[in-house]
Structure 1
Amino acid sequence: MTPSNSGPTPSFLWDLDGTLLDTYPAIDGALQDALAALGRPTELTALVPLTRVTLGHAIGTLAARLGLEEDALWQAHGQAEARRSGQFAPPMPYACEVMTEVRARGALNLVVTHRDREGAIVRLQAAGLWPLVDDLISVSDGYARKPDPAMFLAAMDRHALKPAGCLAVGDRELDIRAAHDAGIPAALLVTPGANLAVEAEYMLPDLKALLGVLNTDLPA
């Protein structure tokens, strides 16, 4: 691919779950199993708008809506998730291609995630993406969770980057808010059925669209 943008390629600050890795089928499936185990079978279509905010939001909302104890739902979810242990999520379509292109253009692939460092690395290795990651910033480093911008600010500081030289890519409202609070333009990977009240500089139907973004000038 021949670059046609007039400026340098931005470094990408990637979210992990739901952006680089297709984790939502497992998240939704474990929650659906937990609800069924508690006698509250629920259609997946009712879970999608909730889990795309956060899992905690989904569990809190569903517990209140269905008359369940929140702690009981968390416990049932943990048990359902344990039964799925060892089933690592595949990479999202075109994640490898976009990361490879970013690297080929001399920019960085930085992962900014709520997952603990060890768990994130294991999952990236299983998906075949770890060799394309230049650095990983996680809550294991002591930073606050998104939408706090601390992890984005730390990533820029660590690699001497300016906000205008970065692009944050995520699939949830908190990803975009954290990026914007750090002054970074953002691309939102839109999940069908998830109604998010946030606007990003780029609204992506899939990660393939980022190959087109790489050939445009980023917003100032």
Structure 2
Amino acid sequence: MKRSAWNHVIWDLDGTLLDTYPATDGALAAALDGLGRPVTPEELRPLTRITLAHAVTALAGRFGLPEETVWAGYEREYAVRGLTFSPAMPGAQEAMRSVRAGGGLNLLATHRDREGALRKLKAAGLDKLLDDMLCVSDGFPRKPDPALFLALLEQHSLGPAEVLAVGDRELDIRAGRAAGCLTALLVTAGVPMHTGADRVLDGLGALAGSGL
């Protein structure tokens, strides 16, 4: 996939532009520990890297706990851990600057609420590099439904073939492909690799400069 095939990027946020997994995993582990059901990081990673909702459902079923109880515990713990700084992923700033330098747009499609996403992007120094964002809190269904992607394409009058969708989970790739975009999967430890992405990335630095 050559760089000439795309100009713009629709980014995922959690686990792609920002390293938010430590706070998520820590909150879920603390919640389960408080319920007398301790889990190891190795048990959590394959579950949360699919989705947090998948992890809660799977672990509640495993331990015979009501899902709402696990969610309540997670939300209490994340209210503390989620305030901690989520650093930009290695190569994120360079990749976003490269898109800008090539005349492209940096767009964001995220499950996170708008206020929380903007707060974390600003703390990580990525907010000034972002051109637009749409969130589930704006009234869109969650990925892999392509509605977030299709709305961004329409708002900016972009053809899907000139847009690269970048994410760290299969649901990001499925949403991007359903919208007709090129897709790139960022490799993350614990994430299943059964994906139909056009490219697999070992790091975001691969998207910087003229390397594609």
> What TM-score, normalized to structure 2?
0.94
1:9/1:106 contact within 8 Å kept: no
Asked whether 1:130 is paired with 2:127, we answer yes
Asked whether 1:78 is paired with 2:75, we answer yes
Instruction: List alignment gaps of at least 5 residues for structure 1.
Output: none
Distance 1:142 1:113 in 2: 12
Question: Equivalent residue for 1:182?
Answer: 179
Residue number among 138, 141, 146 corresponding to 1:141 in the alignment: 138
> Residues 9, 194 of structure 1: CA spacing in aligned structure 2 closer, same or farther, 3 A cutoff?
closer
Question: Equivalent residue for 2:84?
Answer: 87
Distance 2:190 2:113 in 1: 28
2:6/2:161 contact within 8 Å kept: no
- The one-letter amino acid of 1:84's match is R
Asked whether 1:199 is paired with 2:193, we answer no
Distance 1:164 1:11 in 2: 10
Asked whether 1:163 is paired with 2:167, we answer no
Give the 3-state SS of the residue equivalent to 1:208 in structure 2. helix
2:186/2:204 contact within 8 Å kept: yes
1:137/1:151 contact within 8 Å kept: yes
RMSD across aligned C-alpha pairs, in angstroms? 1.5
> Residues 147, 8 of structure 1: CA spacing in aligned structure 2 closer, same or farther, 3 A cutoff?
closer
2:6/2:164 contact within 8 Å kept: no
Distance 1:68 1:159 in 2: 45
Question: Equivalent residue for 1:215?
Answer: 211
Question: Equivalent residue for 2:21?
Answer: 24
Question: Equivalent residue for 1:55?
Answer: 52
2:26/2:81 contact within 8 Å kept: no
1:34/1:73 contact within 8 Å kept: yes
> What TM-score, normalized to structure 1?
0.91
Q: Deviations over 1:118-156 (max 9, x none)?
A: 111111111100000011111232221111101101111
Question: Equivalent residue for 1:69?
Answer: 66
1:90/1:127 contact within 8 Å kept: yes
Residue number among 7, 10, 13 corresponding to 1:10 in the alignment: 7
- The one-letter amino acid of 1:184's match is C
1:49/1:193 contact within 8 Å kept: yes
Q: How far off is 1:175 after superposition?
A: 0.5
Q: How far off is 1:86 after superposition?
A: 2.2
Question: Equivalent residue for 2:93?
Answer: 96
Asked whether 1:118 is paired with 2:115, we answer yes
Q: Deviations over 1:13-67 (max 9, x none)?
A: 0001110010001101111111111111111011111001110100000011122
Q: How far off is 1:193 after superposition?
A: 2.2
Question: Equivalent residue for 1:36?
Answer: 33
Distance 2:100 2:59 in 1: 42
Instruction: List alignment gaps of at least 5 residues for structure 2.
Output: none
Identity of aligned pairs, percent?
54
Q: How far off is 1:109 after superposition?
A: 0.3
How many aligned residue pairs are there?
Answer: 211
> Residues 85, 51 of structure 1: CA spacing in aligned structure 2 closer, same or farther, 3 A cutoff?
closer
- The one-letter amino acid of 1:186's match is T
